[in-house]
Homo-oligomer: A and B are copies of this chain.
Amino acid sequence: MSVTPAHRVSTGERINEQAPPGHLQRELTARRIRLTRQRRVVVQVMESAARHMDAEEILNLAQQIDKGITRVTVYRTLDLLKRHGLIDELDLLHLRGHRHYYESHGERDHIHVACISCGKVREVESPLYEELKKQIASDCGIEISIARTEIGGICDDCRAKS
């Protein structure tokens, strides 16, 4: 049994390998949630962009598509998506201040592994993690709806340099 590296590093990439395109939009429609022009744009940003964007970045990308989108709408839309469990809110161990990061929620939970020296963030999945969650669910008598794991340390590259 081994961890599955997602081979996706968060610095600058803009690829979404996980959720099918239009996933979020379809979820909203299914839930009878009003699809405004602005929500479409924010959702599009969340679907097509890399993970770990903070509200500011999301706003910038959204305004690139449609000037008439305000910060407030971004916050409100993120909150909406969050409440429906469609996106996750992370802090990535507060490595870079107290910003919050958002990412669209894929099928399976993944673990964020960050280097506290260079700031690279990898995402990994592991069967062991799924087992752990099952065990906690049964031992604590809880029906798990959110699970978040963030791990920090020094990566090989950074250790080699020092």
A-side residues, CB < 8 A to B, are: 1-3, 5, 89, 91, 93-94, 98, 100, 111, 113, 115-116, 122, 124, 126, 128-129, 131-133, 135-137, 139-156, 159
Contacts and interface: CB of A to CB of B under 8 A. Distances in A.
A16 B47 CA distance: 44
B128 A132 contact: yes
Given A2-B139, A139-B2, A156-B141, A133 B146 contact: no
Contacts of A152: 144-147
B136 A113 contact: yes
A50 to B, nearest CB: 19
Given A100-B98, A144-B153, A126 B135 contact: yes
A74 B115 CA distance: 27
